[in-house]
Amino acid sequence: MIPALLPNYARIDLAFERGEGAYLFGTDGRRYLDFAAGIAVNALGHCHPHLVAELKAQIDKVWHVSNLYRNPLQEKLAARLVEATFADSVFFCNSGAEANEAGIKMVRRYQYDQGHPERYRMITVQGAFHGRTLATIAAGGQPKYLEGFGPATQGFDQVAWGNLNELRAAITPETAGIIVEPVQGEGGIRPAALQYLRDLRKIADEFGLLLMLDEIQSGVGRTGKLFAYQWAGIEPDVMAVAKGIGGGFPVGCTLANEKAAKGMVPGTHGTTFGGNPLAMAAANAVMDVLLQPGFLDGVDTVARDLWHKLLALQTRHPRVIAEVRGAGLMLGLKCIGTNTDLQTAARDQDLITVTAGDNVLRLLPPLIITTEHVDEAVAALDRACVAVTPATQ
């Protein structure tokens, strides 16, 4: 008989009753070091005192009003995102997939307003993940997510990751834009070469396309800058943000420059819940911490420490780890055995991680970790690697 809870996830048999900083406390009585952060969502760890205080204060004021009225907390967060990024305008929703949907609509609408309704197609790259709605599974192009859900939504042309020749060849008079993740997450922690991002910007300009970035996982401080595109010194036209921005509260944002945003006049798009006061209180609280002078430099420093210690770990366990890759605190261990075996072995050592595509084990710790957490995680991984090392013949 089907369980009451839809069985659409392969859930691990583990539940948590509370969290504190970088730690989660299981109903099994054990304390785990959380290097998954709810898939890069708990950017400031669990129960960060400032987030707790701000959200509790908002709970006593007002939870939801809809987007029929002005929303000062949305205006405040939008102004801060505009101040800190390429963007001129921001739309708020509730999830990553929705942020991408709004971005894709903006790109199509821009071309339409330019007098080119025939330009609606987006170029996407292999290994991408953009969400689970009908348009975003088509954008991601992964057969395992498309299978059984009818004809894929029209308008996405996929090319090889990092291949500019293929990308140029795929541009037609119907192409509206390009969408990429600066660091592929689900696909297996594959960072784009910075030059690739710069070249995508040039190609977009050359062909009158909009460049859209999916920074749902790579954004909000995860790579040591507020957004990963900032490492490349380029600016996108549209960018989707979610995961870390709410610190654990569901928040999505679509950022856009004026060119891309100006077609989104009243009536073109909307959401009931998007940007509600609770969500905005949480996201503004996250921004309070992220924008503190020195916070992102601290992320960069601890990330470099973790990176070097993971390289040393790989040297000690060449039969377990094939490669260490990623950027900032968005790191992946490409496994020689299965990533799930290493994940289980790490969990046996009280370390929580996430798997990704391409047989990679993802490390996505909260941005508040210290060098002590790094050492604890690497020690746990060391023991986990020993546990999964195949016996020599």
The residues binding ligand PLP (CB under 6 A) are: 95-97, 100, 129-131, 181, 185-186, 214, 216-217, 242-243
Of 102 and 345, the one with the shorter C-beta distance to ligand PLP is 102
- Minimum distance between the CB of residue 376 and ligand PLP, rounded to whole angstroms? 26
Of 96 and 248, the one with the shorter C-beta distance to ligand PLP is 96
Between CA 246 and CA 12 the distance in angstroms is 24
Rounded to 10 degrees, what is the CA torsion of 53, 249, 32, 19? 30
- Minimum distance between the CB of residue 129 and ligand PLP, rounded to whole angstroms? 5
Got the DSSP string for 286-336? HHHHHTSTTHHHHHHHHHHHHHHHHHHHHHH-TTTEEEEEEETTEEEEEES
* Token pair in block for residue 289: 């911490």
Between CA 100 and CA 107 the distance in angstroms is 10
- Minimum distance between the CB of residue 208 and ligand PLP, rounded to whole angstroms? 25
Q: 180 by DSSP, 3-state: which? A: strand
Of 54 and 181, the one with the shorter C-beta distance to ligand PLP is 181
Residue pair 15/23 in contact (Cβ under 8 Å)? The answer is no
Give the residue among 46, 24, 368, 19 at the shortest CA–CA distance from 222: 368
For tokens 């948590």, name the residue.
Answer: 16
Between CA 143 and CA 137 the distance in angstroms is 9
Of 89 and 133, the one with the shorter C-beta distance to ligand PLP is 133
- Minimum distance between the CB of residue 379 and ligand PLP, rounded to whole angstroms? 28
Of 220 and 321, the one with the shorter C-beta distance to ligand PLP is 220
| Residue whose CB is nearest to ligand PLP in the complex, by number | 96
Between CA 198 and CA 218 the distance in angstroms is 17
Of 74 and 184, the one with the shorter C-beta distance to ligand PLP is 184
Between CA 102 and CA 95 the distance in angstroms is 11
- Minimum distance between the CB of residue 43 and ligand PLP, rounded to whole angstroms? 13
- Minimum distance between the CB of residue 89 and ligand PLP, rounded to whole angstroms? 21
- Minimum distance between the CB of residue 361 and ligand PLP, rounded to whole angstroms? 16
Of 95 and 359, the one with the shorter C-beta distance to ligand PLP is 95
